[in-house]
Amino acid sequence: MLRSMYSGISGLKNFQTKLDVIGNNIANVNTYGFKKGRVIFKDLISQTVAGASAPTDNLGGTNAKQIGLGSSLAAIDTIHDKGSTQSTGRTLDVVINGDGYLSFTDGDNTFYTRAGNLYLDREGTLIAPDGKKLVSADGNQIQIPADATNLTIGQDGTVSYTQAGAIVAAGQIGITRFPNPEGLTKVGGNYYQVSNNSGDPSDTKTPGADGNGTIESGFVEMSNVDLSEEFTEMIVAQRGFQANSRIITTSDEILQELVNLKR
């Protein structure tokens, strides 16, 4: 009975974590470029009451008798499936049509994201909403002069503008891919950073080259959270939490009956 209580406690902890992840998914349902999380459980070690036996000439073999000791977290995944594309009509809103991430820098570190809502600072540099500078395909920043007009962004990431009647290329937006995108570490602000298991960034940064996605201007990538799926998972997690609570309650009642035997 004590085993069942501790198994129930492990279940409560796991379903609480699942609810935490679901809550974060729902909170970011309208966050540009957000990738949802998923919780996976695994069983803990099982106590072997009797081992398996091999068959003999007179008797058949028997299976092992084991009692499980609860569950634990196996993984908290980040699902990097592409979110829906929303039209904005704004030139500096870009979406990656395919694989890859936009790169930004704060001068010391490089950050990666699928959120393509870009802006200009007072010096004409393409930046993220929090001021991090967009990294071009050649590793530099992209700047637009104050007198530039007719700003456009092509599918190959080339940022062009008109100045004094001539079309000028300001630079090319870079696309970065990783051998294991799910290994990237979330650092907040829609950003990811390289981890020990993500692999090194790809050498080719040109959109549309070597498997990189292309750039589409006037669109943004929305969150890949499906509310109907999340609410269903919430119900399952809630019922699982309740069931594990009932295991603890029932075990406690049986222990109480044992205590009451001596009266």
pLDDT in tens, 172-220: 999 999 999 999 999 999 999 999 999 999 998 999 998 899 999 999 9
Q: Can you tell me the distance from the alpha carbon of 117 to that of 126, in angstroms, rounded to the nearest whole number?
A: 10
For residue 122, being part of any structural domain is answered with yes
- The pLDDT assigned to 259 comes to 82
State the residue range of the domain holding 131. Answer: 85-221
**92 in the same domain as 10:** no
Residues 204 and 94 in one domain: yes
Output the six-digit token pair for 179. Answer: 């051998």
User: Both 69 and 111 in a single domain?
Assistant: no
3-state percent breakdown (helix, strand, coil) of the chain, nearest 5: 25, 35, 45
Same domain, 17 and 72: yes
Higher local confidence (pLDDT), 222 or 256? 222
Are 72 and 100 in a shared domain? no
Cα distances from 25 to residues 13, 180, 226, 262, in angstroms, run 19, 22, 9, 52
User: Which pLDDT score is estimated for 263?
Assistant: 65
Check if the beta carbon of residue 115 is closer than 8 Å to that of residue 82.
Answer: no
Contacts of 260 (CB under 8 A, 6+ apart): none
In a domain, 59, yes or no: no
- The continuous run of DSSP H or E covering 126 comes out as strand 126-127
Q: Is residue 57 part of a domain?
A: no
Same domain, 192 and 233: no
Let me know whether 237 and 214 are in one domain.
Answer: no
Cα dihedral across residues 26, 29, 34, 38: positive or negative: positive
Whose tokens are 């269903």? That residue is: 232
Q: Are residues 141 and 75 in the same domain?
A: no
Based on the structure, what is the number of domains in the chain? 2
Q: Is the same domain home to 148 and 35?
A: no
Distance CA 43, CA 175 (A): 40
Q: Are residues 34 and 146 in the same domain?
A: no
Question: Per residue, what are the HEC states of 165-227?
Answer: CEEEEEEEECCECCCCHHHCEEEECCEEECCCCCCCCCCCCCCCCCCCCEEEECEEECCCCCH
Share of the chain above pLDDT 90, in %: 79
55 within a domain of the structure (yes/no): no
What are the φ/ψ torsions at residue 50 (nearest 5 degrees)?
-150, 135
Which among 26, 19, 18 is positioned nearest to 74, based on CA atoms?
A: 18
In a domain, 60, yes or no: no
pTM of the model: 0.87
